[in-house]
Amino acid sequence: MTLGAKIPMCAPIMATKIPEAPKVGMVSLGCPKALVDSERILTKLRSDGYQMSADYAGADVVLVNTCGFLDSAKEESLEAIGEAIAENGRVIVTGCMGNEAELIRAKFPQVLAVTGAHQYEAVVNAVHEASPPIPNAFVDLVPEGGLKLTPRHYSYLKISEGCNHRCSFCIIPSLRGDLASRRIDAVLREAEKLVHAGTKELLIISQDTSAYGVDTRHEARQWKGREVRAHMTDLARELGQLRTAEGTPPWVRLHYVYPYPHVDHVIPLMADGLLTPYLDIPFQHAAPSILKAMRRPANEAKVLDRIRKWRDICPDIAIRSSFVVGFPGETEADFDYLLQWLDEAQLDRVGAFRFEPVEGAAANDLPGAVPEEVKEERYQRIMERTAAISAARLQAKVGRVLPVIIDEVGEADEDGSIGATARSQADAPEIDGNVFLRDVGEGLAPGSILNVLIEDADEHDLYGVPSV
């Protein structure tokens, strides 16, 4: 699972005529799923008449949305709570670490309330108690699509909570429970609202996107006069029908996909331009014995063949993945197997992690702990190998014309030239690379999509100029 950096937030949203409305500050930690939770909480609070505070000093109460996935993430969460208490003093804790309320209270007895992940109502009630809302506050200050912590042009869309798997290194199911899928019509309605509100790129997230709807037996609902099932392929097909104000399909990225057989059915949608040719598949390892010990879902031998077939159908498909090295019992032969597998798979982007025991995870009891120095050495080797593959794949794009989405436009330099930071379809925000543009001309805004000629590449990023 991807762990994100601390996300600076508390952005002032817009002017209000109720100067005395209480102000809420927020620090959001953890993965994109936690970010979506933060957005929901803030949207609710905003509709209750609260204002957002851009700094600790101006906030009547500070929310810390924590991550409890890895011990290092817990540390970061505790640090953030400590900082909020030191800077403001009135702090409410929510998120995954809410399951460890006792630990938090023992360390920070001043904390006003502790609530767990997805307990939106509880956290909103805690804010009401700590700093009551002003009666008759304006309720129409919430933009269509709710409040967003991501830039306006891209949005995360969470399709389910929890997970039915029991990967031995993971405690997410005990933190977040079993898979609970949202209704397909609710998901599509939210997607449509976001696109109408200006979203140009939807990032589909969950713990296991391929398993969407398994818990509801893929319950069907009516949507636009059609019957659609809560199933990844139906979802992908319907998202491919959405259109932005410019009449183009929004970019739609699938994250946290496991290679179940039905993933093959979404590849033609990518080839047809209805789905962004991008798959984020956390493979975690390739050696059969390690995958078995990890208890990974959809662990089957033919993945390399399928990747080849996917590329035959959609040559531009970008595959991102993450891997764990130094898992208990990983031998030198297992690790070599992984490196060879990576040579064949030629993945576009790879994140690697050294195995770290997580309190409460079954993997902690497995025999064959790998010494730290061996983990480190394997980590360096996998990073080198995958960086070389990524660099070669980026180099192969030099000379091509590719669509990019603009994230940020710079100021004109002394020659009047304006640069911009963009991403190609192979780059998800925050986790992949960028396309740095020169001479973009005036009038370009974040969210614009344009074709660019790729002029250069390095290990992570591309460089280009608008194509004429």
Binding residues, by number, are: 31, 67, 96, 163, 167, 170
Residue with the two structure tokens 């990023």: 461
Q: Which stretch binds ligand SF4 (CB under 6 A): 52-60, 170-178, 240-248, 341-349?
A: 170-178
Phi-psi region of 10 (alpha: psi -120 to 50; beta: other; left: phi over 0): left
Closest separation in Å from C-beta 270 to ligand SF4 = 23
Site for ligand SF4 contains 351 (CB under 6 A): no
Binding-site entries for [4Fe-4S] cluster: 31, 67, 96, 163, 167, 170
Q: How far apart are CA 387 and CA 214, in angstroms?
A: 36
Q: Which is nearer to ligand SF4, 98 or 240 (CB)?
A: 98
Among the listed residues 343, 346, 341, 340, the one whose alpha carbon sits nearest the alpha carbon of residue 317: 346
Among the listed residues 235, 186, 191, the one whose alpha carbon sits nearest the alpha carbon of residue 214: 235
Q: Which is nearer to ligand SF4, 178 or 408 (CB)?
A: 178
Closest separation in Å from C-beta 292 to ligand SF4 = 14
Binding mask 197-216 for ligand SF4 (x = CB under 6 A): ----------xx--------
Closest separation in Å from C-beta 49 to ligand SF4 = 36
Question: Where in 240-388 does DSSP place strands (E)?
Answer: 251-254, 278-280, 318-325, 349-354
How many residues touch ligand SF4 (CB under 6 A)? 11
Radius of gyration of the CA atoms of the chain, in A: 23
Binding mask 291-330 for ligand SF4 (x = CB under 6 A): ------x---------------------------------
User: What stretches of 61-119 show up as alpha helix (H) in DSSP?
Assistant: 71-87, 101-107
Angle at the Cα of 175 from the Cα atoms of 170 and 178, rounded to 5 degrees? 85
Q: How far apart are CA 155 and CA 178, in angstroms?
A: 25
Selected from 167, 184, 352, 449, the binder of ligand SF4 by CB under 6 A is 167
Binding mask 147-166 for ligand SF4 (x = CB under 6 A): ----------------x-xx
Site for ligand SF4 contains 29 (CB under 6 A): no
Q: What is residue 284's DSSP assignment?
A: B
Q: How far apart are CA 95 and CA 12, in angstroms?
A: 22
- Positions touching ligand SF4 (CB under 6 A) are 1, 163, 165-167, 170, 172-173, 207-208, 297
